[in-house]
Chain A
Amino acid sequence: MKVKSEKGVGHWLIQRITAVLLIPLSLWAAAVFLAYITAPYSAAQIWLSSPYIKSAVIVFTVLMFYHGYLGIQVILEDYVPNEKTRTYLIYFTRLFSFFMTVLAIISIIQIQLS
């Protein structure tokens, strides 16, 4: 895998931008998760049926997995000496993160008041 130098700057910057955006979003998500973890099904359903909440949860989830993917990528680059293994693991993480994000978005869209 050839790594272009300008790609590194983009990576570094996106990691920071997602980090800054996640400061308020992750606090909000943590507070919400804390409040709803003991909630009955109907209460959680009502909460996530609002289009505004849905949008915010989707934005949070996308940023979280993007930030997580970039972080794991750096760790893999530092600790996996074999180039082929490293490249495969990075691609796997990228694919897995994308898959998880899509699953989350589909789930969030599906939630509606019954």
Chain B
Amino acid sequence: MAERPLSPHLQIYKIQITSLLSILHRLTGMILYGGAVLWVVWLMGLANGKDSYDAIQKILLHPVGLIVLLGWSLSFFYHFCNGIRHLCWDMGYGYDIKTVRQTGWFVIIMTILLTMFTWMLGRTWGFIWT
């Protein structure tokens, strides 16, 4: 195990869209793991009763909480779109460098659009409860 070369060697590459998106997939994956823990905290709050639920909700809807949620939603849609791109590669599609760059940009645009759409939807849905 120790003799095996460890890859990728991040520090020797010139950053390109391909490598940047690859690193972002891992980075957003790690952020989403944190999000998963937050999801469990929310469920625990719901199980624990009204006081815990309200306290967690207050934190989530506080400006700092909203910034966390913005990062979470961006990470989610990025990992979601780029994950589908990865699954296409696994099936053997989209390997030539031109397509890889095009789908890369498509992932970036979709991430931004889906995140914007989500926050607009969130604003509308938020009014349901009031």
Interface residues, chain A, with chain B CB atoms under 8 Å away? 1-3, 16, 19-20, 23, 26-27, 29-30, 33-35, 37-41, 43-45, 48, 57, 61, 64-65, 68, 71-72, 75, 78-79, 81, 83, 100, 103-104, 106-108, 110-111
Is the pair A64, B1 in contact by a Cβ cutoff of 8 Å? no
Q: Cβ of B84 < 8 Å from any Cβ of A? A: yes
CB distance from B38 to the nearest CB of A (A): 10
Residue pairs across A and B with CB atoms within 8 Å: the count is 102
Contact of A65 among B36, B57, B86, B87 (CB under 8 A): B36
Interface of B is mostly: helix
Interface of A is mostly: helix
Total chain B interface residues with beta-carbon distance under 8 A: 42
Interface residues, chain B, with chain A CB atoms under 8 Å away? 1-2, 6-8, 26, 29-30, 32-33, 36-37, 39-40, 42-44, 46-48, 50, 53-54, 57, 60-61, 69, 73, 76, 80, 83-84, 86-87, 90, 118, 121-122, 125-126, 128-129
